[in-house]
Amino acid sequence: MDLDGLTVAVVGMARSGVAAIRLLREKGAMVRAIDEKPMGEILGFPVQPQTEDSFRDVDLVVLSPGVPSDIEVLEKVRQRGVPVISELELAAPYLQGPRIGITGTNGKTTTTALTGHILSESRIACQVGGNIGTPPTAMVESSRPDQWNVLELSSFQLETIKDFRTEIAVGLNVTQNHLDRHHTFENYVNAKARLFETQEVRDLAVLNADDPVTVTFAKRTQAQTVWFSSTHPVAGAWLDRDVIQLRGAKLLNVRELRLRGSHNYENVMAAALIAERAGAQPSQIARAAATFAPVEHRLEMVREVGGVAYYNDSKATSVDATLKAIDAFPGGLWIILGGKDKNSDYSVLREPLRAKAKAALLIGTAAQKIAAQLGKDAVPLLQSGTLAEAVQKAHLSAEPGDTVLLAPACASFDQFESYEHRGRVFKELVNALTGGSR
């Protein structure tokens, strides 16, 4: 892609947008920074409003992941024949080295970080980024031909790709999420599927054999397919009671892992298949997986207070992620739910909560909807308003042996800047607690 002399509009001045500006400037493009929020300057460029005039006479538009691709002003840009691409697509021609793309509704961050950990521990050169940490355009400078690029990829990043391709593509699971952005589940699935549709015959697709949506991706890719499963033997990796099998041989016992929950065992199986393709030996994979610590804000043990364990799963921003979090515990849960609704159906939480929870503490703008969909008979519902009030109520009520779990099933943007911000506040609140419960 020759960008020299082109006028390129970058929309969305968050981390990815700023990284895109840096790459474009390096490649000789004339950059126009655009954001819907009033701002001053970014990297010396005045930030223009997200209006039709700001897109006049541009040759290319680059979208940050947080910017919907179907807003009216962009439709008008497309009608003029101007390409509209993602920040990920912009990075594609310049990112040296083979690529691993990991997508799914849940588990992307853990699997991406775990894959990077296994490769590093196996002395296989890699760098980790994408939706986790470093934007793809910011990875260009440090990329090299003999180094793997391990990328967590969201539906927001994938929905507008055209040529971006990964040598290894991973589909962990796909359940309803982000319907406020994609409008329909079909659109959401199609965005995820783009990762596999751009692959070639020489590539590898790693897919969850137990997920009905990821199974369909095998028909949407030219790549060779390998599978992982928690329920039955497959050509790849599977869980045989407490033992993860890789190609029919024992890899490790799940009791050796620091991760908890069956969903995390699936993440380990996916990472093992990735690492195997990248050149790691089974013994190296097993040793590295056993030393991997849970990623922050993903079923992260904060501390125990008065015999009550506090877990931070702020990254559980979908109902399915919350279901997986609940499944990781035997019972005695005081679960904090709520935040900004993503057009989700919370009624599916009813029976798991009835079986395992002592109470649900509801916070944020989605609290009333969650209460209505859970009903009054499944579990006691404690309207708490804020995270601070929820933590305090749980602290006063929980008994030794119980668990207080932040797994909100919602986005964070009603009261927090991000799920990370919400998780940090939760940990601060928990670490400020003194004495025992009651």
> How far apart are alpha carbons 288 and 31 in whole angstroms?
43
Q: How many residues does the chain have?
A: 438
**What does the DSSP assignment read for 100-140?**
EEEE-SSSHHHHHHHHHHHHHHTT--EEEEESSSS-HHHHT
417-434 pLDDT, tens digit per residue, is 999 999 999 999 999 998
pLDDT digits (tens, 9 = 90+) for 51-79: 999 999 999 999 998 898 888 999 999 99
Torsion of CA 390, 391, 394, 400, to 10 degrees: 170
Assigned superfamily of 92-291: Mur-like, catalytic domain (3.40.1190.10)
Across the chain, what does the average pLDDT equal? Answer: 94
CA–CA separation, 284 and 281 (whole Å)? 5
Provide the Cα torsion 355, 361, 364, 366; round to 10°. 30
Percentage of residues in the chain with pLDDT exceeding 90?
A: 84
pLDDT of 178 strictly over 90: no
Q: How far apart are CA 320 and CA 339, in angstroms?
A: 15
Q: Check residue 148 and give its pLDDT.
A: 98
More confidently predicted of 61 and 180: 61
Mean pLDDT across 139-155: 96
Report pLDDT for 225: 98
- In the chain, count of helices (H) and strands (E)? 16, 21
* pLDDT average, residue stretch 397-411: 96
Confidence at residue 179, expressed as pLDDT on a 0 to 100 scale? 65
- pLDDT class of 93 with cuts at 50, 70, 90: very high
Name the more confident of 39 and 335. Answer: 335
* Residue 194 pLDDT: 96
CATH superfamily for domain 7-87: NAD(P)-binding Rossmann-like Domain (3.40.50.720)
Which pLDDT band, with edges at 50, 70 and 90, does 376 fall under?
A: confident
Q: Is 123 exposed, middle or buried (0-12, 13-18, 19+ CB in 10 A)?
A: exposed
The listed CATH number (1.10.287.890, 2.40.30.40, 1.10.760.10, 3.90.190.20) that belongs to domain 300-431: 3.90.190.20
pLDDT at position 438 = 44
Q: Show the tokens assigned to 198.
A: 């751009």
What residue ranges do the domains of the chain occupy?
7-87, 92-291, 300-431
The DSSP call for residue 159 is T
Q: 40-71 burial, b if ≥16 CB within 10 A, otherwise e? A: eebeebebbebeeebbeebebbbbbbebebee
Residue 176 has pLDDT above 90, yes or no: no
231-251: per-residue pLDDT in tens?
Answer: 999 999 999 999 999 999 999
CA atoms within 13 A on the CB side of 411: 14
pLDDT of residue 435: 65
Of 173-187, 322-336, 344-358, the poorest mean pLDDT is in: 173-187
> How far apart, in Å, do the first and last CA atoms of the chain sit?
64
